[in-house]
Structure 1
Amino acid sequence: MARITVLDDGIELDGPTLVEGFPGVGLVGKIATDHLIEAHEMTHYANVHCDGIPRVAVYQDSDPSLTTPVRLYVDPEADLVALRSDIPVAPDAATEVAGCLDGWFDETDTFPVFLSGLGREKDEEPPALYGIATGDGDDALTGAEIGAPPESGLVSGPTGAMLAESLERDRDAVGLVVESDPQFPDPEAARILIQDGIDPIAGTETPTDGLVEQATEIRNAKQSFAKRMQEATEESSQAEPLKMFQ
């Protein structure tokens, strides 16, 4: 049964900003949300039970307690929620997962910020960041001075399914698309997501020096996860140029 199990009823949310971190190209969404959770010392707020999420149990280092592979973390003072996913979601399950979370978005009046990587080979230029929106989400992009994409494209995977759900319901939402390494975890692209996208939209201040200083450590820690993603690329949330399909 699809449900969101809240672990702390004492936490109240008032129209929070949610940052979605399903894994995709460069693992940028996951790296960014994992960093937000650690930097803001966010509280494990809820477990996500959605049809389409693999029935597995997750445990953490130095903690015997089991939990779900997809979880919500919250910083009540900042009205910030982060969705952390420890697994990819199969493409045929993306719509089910999107519909499950959509109901919770409605209940909590959540403003979602969806994250996606656009595969680009690395060069000396910093990764470019673009914004897409549904409903009145473009107002948030304008306020954060995030530019529009320079070419047509599409977003796939669970992130694409949730954007499609927001479009169908005319929900205010934004998607942040950042150029990312197509083969390896990309902490630098995740830093751009936080610094130039998430923080201006959510009104937060997140230290990101560690993402650059510990880039090698982060890449090594995420490498096995990235390998699994490469072996099943159709499960990734990613942005792709539309001309590939024309």
Structure 2
Amino acid sequence: MKSILLGTAALAMTAGMALAQDVVRMGTEGAYPPYNFINDDGEVDGFERELGDELCARAELDCEWVTNDWDSIIPNLVSGNYDTIIAGMSINDSRDEVIDFTQDYIPPAESAYVALSEDAPLDGVIAAQTSTLQSAYIVEQGATLLEYATAEEIISAVRNGEADAAFFDFDFLRPIVEESSELSFVGEEVILGRGTGMGIRESDTELKATFNEAIDSMKEDGSLNELIVKWFGDDVKVYE
């Protein structure tokens, strides 16, 4: 699950009371399969689309989907362009200073390295998506970080020889590795963040409570685990 660094725009005045609106706008990236992506019909699809629609149905909310680039997704929530972020966003302390989160709807997950060679130096040049938990981790490890705007670009960087390895969410990387005759996982997996939750403006306490109740109901009846397995496979981590 991804994270984002916070720009000064994220400190703008909060806007809106979501439940007072006719429609709750669900903000996502649309470029992070299987969490969220744009399908052949040009519509938001993926795990989070199905999850979000079910949460809105249980909460009896009229919801619509809005896409936004990853690097400005928090500032545009704060400024009122949509009412939630549901985009594979990891919960951590830095974001909690600017926005609020629901409880997690995916447990903390692993990040992993992929490379063209099992001998790839993980202290060398590592590609990661801009402003994510993974990019921050690479800096902490003392490796040379190459940042790219999208996850697809970090894979291309490895294939093109620009980076020794790429570091990103295991769930995103697994199908790419499985379908590739070149790429393989290297090194150890790393757990980052506190799970994935919906981002909510700090002023929208009622909306947060409403979605928390809906997430609780899906955890309790097992439907959330079923949805996670559907999109991420039988060996994915689920709620006990």
- TM-score (norm. length: structure 2): 0.28
More helix by share: 1
Specify the structure having the higher radius of gyration (Cα).
2
- TM-score (norm. length: structure 1): 0.28
